[in-house]
Amino acid sequence: MKRIAAIILVLTVGMVLFAGCGGGSTQQNNNPAENAGQTVKGKTGEPLSLPGDTQITVKRVVKNPEDSKMILVETEIKNIGDTPKVYSLQNFVLKDKSGKVYRPEIAKVPNPIITTNVLSGKTLNGFLGFSVPEGKNEFTLVFQGATGKINVEITVPEE
């Protein structure tokens, strides 16, 4: 009887250790390029959708009157999925034609898009602000959603 109890104990401890080391779990792929899913491409003014996920519309692009090196991208984000989604600045980047990446900023941005929970069917509106070098005016706004990416070609108007 002691022998059976010892075997059960050894098996139980082995299973706990095996599960704790990740043996029973699937490894998450942290490479964004491989997790990207589909890519939807379009232009300013076009509603672009990742089916069952998100719809993005870039309404307009303007230079920030408070900071000449910053552009403001007025964006509408609609949750077209069945569950609430959290949208944040980390979902967005701006890329120039050479591939350089610019991250969104909050300082000096009127009505900025901030991290928030959006219910199914609801919309979030606001501005994304990016500091970019003078003279560059063609970019791609990239939104990373749960099922893929939305790439919006934007042009900063000359003033």
Q: Where are the domains of the chain?
A: 38-155
CATH number for the 38-155 domain, one of 3.10.20.600, 3.40.190.10, 2.60.40.1240, 3.60.70.12?
2.60.40.1240
Instruction: Write the DSSP string, the chain.
Output: -HHHHHHHHHHHHHHHHHHHTTTTSPPPP--HHHH--EEEEEETT--EEETTTEEEEEEEEEEETTEEEEEEEEEEEEE-SSS-EEE-GGGEEEEETT--EE--B-TT-SSB---EEE-TT-EEEEEEEEE--TT--EEEEEEE-SSEEEEEEEEPPP-
Distance CA 13, CA 31 (A): 34
The arithmetic mean of pLDDT across residues 5-30, rounded, is 36
Confidence of residue 1 (pLDDT cuts 50, 70, 90): low
What is the rounded end-to-end Cα distance, in angstroms, of the chain? Answer: 88
pLDDT in tens, 75-105: 999 999 999 999 999 999 999 999 999 999 9
pLDDT in tens, 19-63: 333 333 223 333 344 445 899 999 999 999 999 999 999 999 999
Percent of all residues in the chain with a pLDDT value above 70, rounded to a whole number: 77
Structure confidence at residue 64 (pLDDT)? 92
Cα 79–38–124 angle (5° rounding)? 20
Confidence of residue 129 (pLDDT cuts 50, 70, 90): very high
- Whether the Cβ atoms of residue 141 and residue 43 lie closer than 8 Å to each other: no
pTM of the model: 0.75
Residue 112 in tokens: 């900025």
